Amino acid sequence: MEAIEVLGDGMRKISLNEISRKIDTPWSPVDVAVFNDSVIRMSKLEGEFVWHKHTNSDEVFLVFEGEFILQTKEENFDLKKMEGIVVPKGVLHCPKTDSSATVLVFELKGTKKYGD
């Protein structure tokens, strides 16, 4: 199966397993689906990212494989496979993992990876 298969009426069938297998560079998100003003991205996490925030939009993380910690200035959140978290706009945060994880990130199309 292709990672994204185009069907009739403009519909697309998505294989998250195929997309995950093709990602080999950590912290380099791949667009899985774009709809309305939003996008779902998949990314491999290894080590620690940079501290950042998104002033104008919330961000949702859903763990597809592995586990990671979402750090905020107030507390850390341990997230395991099939768990997720909503990061409200304006909250300074930093994802990190001691091993590796694959996550889905739901955000607005124009959201910058390193925040604003």
Domains of the chain: 27-108 (2.60.120.10)
For residues 116 and 107, give the distance between their C-alpha atoms in angstroms, rounded to a whole number: 14
Which of these, 101, 109, 111, lies nearest to 49 by C-alpha position?
A: 101
pLDDT tier for residue 14 given thresholds of 50, 70 and 90: very high
| Residue showing tokens 């990876």 | 113
Mean pLDDT for 69-73 is: 98
Q: Determine contact, residues 33/40, Cβ cutoff 8 Å.
A: yes
pLDDT tier for residue 1 given thresholds of 50, 70 and 90: low
Radius of gyration of the chain (CA): 14
Strand (E) or helix (H) holding 19: helix 16-22
Mean pLDDT for 67-71 is: 98
Per-residue pLDDT tens digits for 17-42: 999 999 999 999 999 999 999 999 99
Q: How far from 28 is each of 22, 77, 114, CA to CA, in Å?
A: 12, 22, 11
Per-residue pLDDT tens digits for 73-98: 999 999 999 999 999 999 999 999 99
- Of the chain, the percentage scoring pLDDT greater than 90 comes to 85
Q: How far from 115 is each of 16, 85, 93, CA to CA, in Å?
A: 25, 17, 10
Between the CA atoms of 99, 57, 36 and 24, what dihedral angle is there, to the nearest 10 degrees?
-20
